[in-house]
Structure 1
C-alpha cells in the first residue's frame, strides 16, 4: 500500500534562507512546491560578486533562481530579500506574503548565520561574533515565529512551523559555543511554542540535521569531512539537502497531524538513543 502525503495542495509556505544553490533551504522550497505549495523564498540579497564558483558558473541568481524552479513546478513563487533578525523586515515579509498570496500555512525557519569568526574557543570569542550568530539563528527564528504565529491564530485554520536546528544544539561541541547555544535555543523555543500554539491546531517542530552536503562544508577540505564522517556517522556518508527536505515536507503534511514539539535528528545515525 502506498501512502501519499496530503494536505499541502494550494497551501502557502514561507521558507527563509533559501537562496543558495547548494542548500537545505532551496531543497525545502522546491520539495514543498512539488507537494503542491506556493512558496515565499527569502534570502539576504547577497552580492553576486561573492557567489561561490559553482554558482557563478551556473549563472545562479539566488532567490530568483529558486523562484523559477518553484514556478516550473506549476506553483506561485514570491522571492523576498529579508533580514530575519530585523523586526520590521519580518513584519513586512508577513504583510507581503498575505497581500500577494492571500494566506500562510507553513513556515520554515531555515535562515542561519554562515560559519565564521564564531568557531573559536569561548575565551577567544568576540561579542560581535556571538551577537551575529544569535541574532540570525535564534532572534530571527523567534521574530518569524511570533509574527507568523499571530497571523496563523487569526487565520484560524491551524498550520505548521518547522524550525531548522542542528544536532550541534545537542552535541555542543568545542569551538562552537555561539552556534550550539543558538541551535539549542531553537529547540527550546520549538518546545515552548508547540505547547502554546497547540490549542490553535498549529504544530511546531524542529529538524536537527547532521553533516549535510551544502555550501557550508566548503571551508573544510574533503579529507577532513571524510575522516569526520568515517568516525562519527554509522551510515557512512553525509546527508543531502533533499533528505532534510523530505522530513520537512512530511512535518508540514496531514500525515504528521499528531506530531508537534519534536526535535528530529536527520543525521545518518550520529546521535543515537541512549
Structure 2
C-alpha cells in the first residue's frame, strides 16, 4: 500500500455529510485508518477536527521521515484540498483536561461537533507477551489509551451532542481481536472487547437523544501497523484466515464510518460490525 492509497478517491464526493462537523482521534499517521477516515468524511462534505500526538510521541516510519510528514497537520492539508475545513489539536485522549481542551477547540472553531470517531489506539509494543509476563504498567497503558480514552472522549462529546439537541453519531474503532481474542495480546484484546461493551451501553443510553453509537471491528488492515512482521508472514496469515484472500484497506474502514455517520445509517445503533474479509462470520 502506498502513502497515497490512504486518501485516494475511490468514490466520488457525495455531500451526504455537508454541514456536519466530525472529530477523528488518532488521525496523524501516514498509512493509517485515521487518515483515511478523515479524508472520507471530508470527501462526504464534513468539516473535520483532527487529533493526534506530537511528532515526537511515536517513532516515525521511514516514509514519514523521508517525506517530512507533519502528523495531523499533513492530514489537515489534505482535508482542505478536498474542499472542507480542518483544524488540529494535539490531544492526550486519556487525560480529562486535554479532552476538555479539545472540546473547547472544536467549539471555538466550529461551534460544536456532530460526529465523533474514536480511532486512537495504543501502538503495539511491550504488551505483546503472555499474560504471565505482562508488566502491570504496560497493561495499564493499553487500557488507559484504548478504553479510558474512548470513554473520556465519548463522555464529554456526548454531553455536547445532547446539549445541541439535534442528535449525532459516535463510531468507536474497535478490533476483531476484541471478539476473537489471541495469545500474547491480552491487554489489547481486553480493551477492545470493553470498547464493544461500552458501545452497547452508550447506544442504549443515548438513543432517546437520537445519538447513534456503533463500533467497527477491523481485521487485518494494510497500514503501518503491519510493519512489525515480514510481508511473507502476513501473506501466510491472510491465506490461512481471510476468505477474501487479502488484507483490507484503510478505505474499507473509512467507507463504513461515512455510511454509519450519514443519514443512510440512521436506523443503525448499538452494533459492532466486523470489517475483516470474512475472518469471523458468526457474530
Instruction: Report TM bin, short chain.
Output: over 0.9
Moved more, 43-52 or 160-169: 43-52
Is residue 92 of structure 1 aligned with residue 101 of structure 2? yes
Describe how 1:40-55 pairs up with structure 2 within 5 A: 40-47=49-56, 50-55=59-64
Deviation string 1:83-112 (CA, Å, 9 cap, x unpaired) is 000011001101110111112100000000
Separation in 2, partners of 1:95, 1:118 = 33
Q: 1:125 aligns with which of 126, 129, 134?
A: 134
Match of 1:109 in 2: 118
Task: Answer yes or no: is the 8 Å Cα contact 2:14–2:43 preserved in 1.
Answer: no
Match of 2:30 in 1: 21
Is residue 70 of structure 1 aligned with residue 75 of structure 2? no
Match of 1:59 in 2: 68
Give the superposition deviation at 1:49.
9.2
Cα 1:31/1:49, change in 2 over 3 Å:
closer
Separation in 1, partners of 2:157, 2:58 = 33
Separation in 2, partners of 1:134, 1:212 = 22
Normalised by the size of structure 1, how large is the TM-score? 0.97
Is residue 37 of structure 1 aligned with residue 46 of structure 2? yes
Three-state SS of the structure 2 residue aligned to 1:61 is coil
Separation in 2, partners of 1:88, 1:29 = 24
Deviation string 1:101-136 (CA, Å, 9 cap, x unpaired) is 112100000000000000110000000110010000
Is residue 145 of structure 1 aligned with residue 142 of structure 2? no
Is residue 223 of structure 1 aligned with residue 215 of structure 2? no
Give the superposition deviation at 1:5.
6.0
**Structure 2 unmatched runs, 5+:** 1-12
Task: Answer yes or no: is the 8 Å Cα contact 1:5–1:250 preserved in 2.
Answer: no
Give the superposition deviation at 1:7.
4.4
State the number of aligned residues. Answer: 271
Moved over 6 A (4+): none
Moved more, 191-200 or 215-224: 215-224
Three-state SS of the structure 2 residue aligned to 1:50 is coil
Match of 1:135 in 2: 144
Three-state SS of the structure 1 residue aligned to 2:18 is coil
Match of 1:204 in 2: 213
Three-state SS of the structure 1 residue aligned to 2:22 is strand
Cα 1:49/1:14, change in 2 over 3 Å:
closer
Give the superposition deviation at 1:224.
1.1
Task: Give the root-mean-square deviation of aligned CA atoms.
Answer: 1.3
Separation in 1, partners of 2:158, 2:234 = 38
Task: Answer yes or no: is the 8 Å Cα contact 2:37–2:251 preserved in 1.
Answer: yes
Task: Answer yes or no: is the 8 Å Cα contact 1:44–1:81 preserved in 2.
Answer: yes
**Structure 1 unmatched runs, 5+:** none
Separation in 2, partners of 1:190, 1:46 = 30
